Amino acid sequence: MGMGVSKVLHRWVLLVFLVLLVGWGSRPADASHRVYPTYQTYEAEKVSSNHRTAYHFQPPKNWINDPNGPLYYKGVYHLFYQYNPKGAVWGNIVWAHSVSTDLVNWTPLPPAIYPSKPFDINGCWSGSATILPGDRPAILYTGIDPDNRQVQNVAFPKDLSDPYLREWVKPDYNPVISPDASINASAFRDPTTAWMDRDGQWNVVVGSRRKHRGMAVLYQSRDFVNWVKVKHPLHSSAGTGMWECPDFYPVSRRHRNGLETSVVGREVKHVLKVSLDLTRYEYYTVGRYHPGVNRYVPDPASIDDHTGLRYDYGNFYASKTFYDPEKKRRVLWGWSNESDSRSIDVSKGWAGIQAIPRTLWLDEGGKQLVQWPVVELEKLRGKKVQVHNVKLRKEGRFEVKGILSSQADVEVTFQVSGLEKAEPFDPSWKDPQVLCGQKGADVGGGVGPFGLWVLASGDFRERTAVFFRVFRAPHKHVVLMCHDPSSSTTKADVWKPSFGGFVDVDIRKEGKISLRNLIDTSVVESFGAGGKTCITSRVYPVEAVGDAAHLYAFNNGEATVRISHLKAWQMGTPMMN
């Protein structure tokens, strides 16, 4: 009896101390490599199902962050990911491993890579997979050595006949890449998928920085074992800070099919994506790769700093793509961290999800990427409701009934007219996230805000708004897409930022704009204009949960908009680890 009381008191003391130590605020991705020693091995006695997603990737309990080394091998999709097997905060990181035949249903396997050798004894951090000649997978990953230097290691499957790749071997000749005197050994991590040039030489990039300049440090090898640093980076950019989780790959200018990572050619462009440790957001550029001089040069129209293009303008970080040879597509994974408090994560026993995998391709103009949820997700679509030709006048709203809207996939197209009523666009409005915060869903406008209220309570005390707003500029209308979660919950201790991005669409010519939303308990993923602008938010309603959640279309603008068609499906629950 005394021991039981002591154990309970001990846990309560730990939780109270956690609140005092960690505080209540939480940025979407700020926990990467942040150490909470007391809680790295603190496991909840019971894992809370409150706010756990139904069809997004997550393990049964504990902390996850970066997706690592996704690949396709012998009919099986593999996802490795950073995982703490002992608690719900970052620490004790291993490469957890799950497999799937459809990117929807997932089966867990034992961790593939974990600290066990001097070259990774203090940590096994992020990396990528490469398929070598003869269909042989290899993993390059960052290890933390006894001196806490970040070094790059290689691992190979123990049994190539095993489609599940259950066991991996780390050769004793590791590390294969170590930081030299010109490299900051504490800012040298996350190797990319390697690519082979026409001379049969392998190339790989490792993220780094020199003072405040982010860098993609380039290494080359003939045998995937002995690597030599190229004299200059593949690319770098001033003022961007540490480049985490770089990704470098080709995209076709002619079609939507993905390309194997080593492909080059006149009809090919390249994408360089980096995750910025400085801002905790990502950005990418589209440009040209010049293998003869080992340089990547962004196109003139591609902004090469933290204000540039993003895969996702919301809670989405440490992303990684892979080429799927089965369906000839490039697939994107990204991590969406919690935005509640660290103390809540510890008490509920889990933290972090992976966003729904997305197919991506280069748009027709060749200036940006387009993303769309993998088609396999549609197998989860169940009960369906449809709406056609509904007018939404100023302050109008329309409830979509008939499905469980807390677990749904919603596609809607809005017909937009009355563009003469659009507000003038101020050229100083450079940051769409700031603009969305200033002009939220409840701030009336000329054309918009119009869109959807998701995860809404019956009394509207809770609601998350996903919406568009149209502005009038001298030569073209400007379309803004926003997430406004300011009223998403009555709960305290939750970070509720507005997120936003501009949408590259000619609204006068098109006369319409589409929106797709994946709604899953505590996450909302939105795809505007067919996937040109994407935003992910984590929200934690108290009342708008389960069958108490409502879904509405709304318009708070002067101009009338019309729902030309809306389709909403209740989503099933797959096998999830």
pLDDT tens digits for 178-200? 999 999 999 999 999 999 999 99
Say if residue 22's pLDDT is above 60: no
Please give the biggest Cα pair distance in the chain.
Answer: 76
Q: Which of 350, 373, 396 is the last residue of a domain?
A: 373
Say if residue 36's pLDDT is above 70: no
Q: Can you give the C-alpha Rg of the chain in angstroms?
A: 24
Task: Let me know if residue 393 belongs to a domain.
Answer: yes
Dihedrals phi, psi of 432, to nearest 5 degrees: -65, -30
Residues 310 and 425 in one domain: no
Task: Let me know if residue 69 belongs to a domain.
Answer: yes
Residues 481 and 541 in one domain: yes
Residues 310 and 417 in one domain: no
Task: Let me know if residue 225 belongs to a domain.
Answer: yes
b/e 487-511 (16+ beta carbons within 10 angstroms → b): bbbebebbbbbbbbbbbbbebeeee
Tell me the C-alpha distance between 265 and 256, whole Å.
Answer: 16
Q: Which of 373, 393, 417 is the last residue of a domain?
A: 373
Residues 58 and 17 in one domain: yes
Residues 402 and 274 in one domain: no
Query: Residues 6 or more apart from 250 whose CB is under 8 A from it?
Result: 259, 261, 263, 264, 268, 269, 270, 271, 289
Per-residue pLDDT band for 38 (boundaries 50, 70, 90) equals low
Please state whether the peptide bond connecting residue 115 to the residue before it is cis, i.e. omega within 30 degrees of 0.
Answer: no
Task: Let me know if residue 3 belongs to a domain.
Answer: no
**Token pair in block for residue 344:** 């809540």
Which residue out of 30, 66, 345, 504 is catalytically annotated?
Answer: 66
Per-residue pLDDT band for 5 (boundaries 50, 70, 90) equals very low
Q: Three-state SS string across 463-501, please?
A: CEEEEEEEEECCCCCEEEEEEECCCCCCCCCCCCCCEEE
Say if residue 386's pLDDT is above 60: yes
**pLDDT value for 402:** 98
Per-residue pLDDT band for 46 (boundaries 50, 70, 90) equals confident
Q: Is 340 a catalytic residue?
A: no
Residues 305 and 448 in one domain: no
pLDDT one-digit tens code per residue, 491-502: 988 999 999 999
Residues 155 and 98 in one domain: yes
Say if residue 421's pLDDT is above 90: yes
Residues 277 and 132 in one domain: yes
Q: Helix or strand or coil: residue 203? A: strand
Residues 318 and 398 in one domain: no
**pLDDT value for 12:** 40
Residues 366 and 433 in one domain: no
Tell me which residue of 192, 182, 191, 197 sits closest to 151, measured CA to CA. 191
- Choose the weakest-confidence range: 220-229, 341-350, 415-424: 341-350
Say if residue 2's pLDDT is above 90: no
Task: Let me know if residue 171 belongs to a domain.
Answer: yes
Q: Which of 324, 351, 373 is the last residue of a domain?
A: 373
**pLDDT value for 28:** 47
Dihedrals phi, psi of 3, to nearest 5 degrees: -65, -40
Considering the chain, what is the average pLDDT of its residues? 94
Residues 298 and 395 in one domain: no
Residues 281 and 394 in one domain: no
* Contact yes or no for 43/94 (Cβ under 8 A): no
Which pTM was predicted?
0.94
pLDDT one-digit tens code per residue, 289-322: 999 999 999 999 999 999 999 999 999 999 999 9
Say if residue 26's pLDDT is above 50: no
Task: Let me know if residue 497 belongs to a domain.
Answer: yes
Residue numbers of the domain that contains 496: 380-571
- Choose the weakest-confidence range: 2-11, 68-77, 208-217, 442-451: 2-11
Q: Helix or strand or coil: residue 7? A: helix
CATH of the domain at 489: 2.60.120.560
Alpha carbon dihedral 17, 21, 24, 29, in 10-degree steps, equals -130
**pLDDT value for 552:** 99
Task: Let me know if residue 353 belongs to a domain.
Answer: yes
Q: Give percent of the chain with pLDDT exceeding 70.
A: 93
**pLDDT value for 41:** 75
Long-range contacts of 20-23 (CB under 8 A, 24+ apart): 22/341, 22/342, 22/343, 23/341, 23/342
**pLDDT value for 34:** 64
Tell me which residue of 239, 242, 232, 238 sits closest to 189, measured CA to CA. 242
Tell me which residue of 188, 293, 163 sits closest to 231, measured CA to CA. 293
Give the H/E segment covering residue 10: helix 2-22
Q: How many domains does the chain have?
A: 2
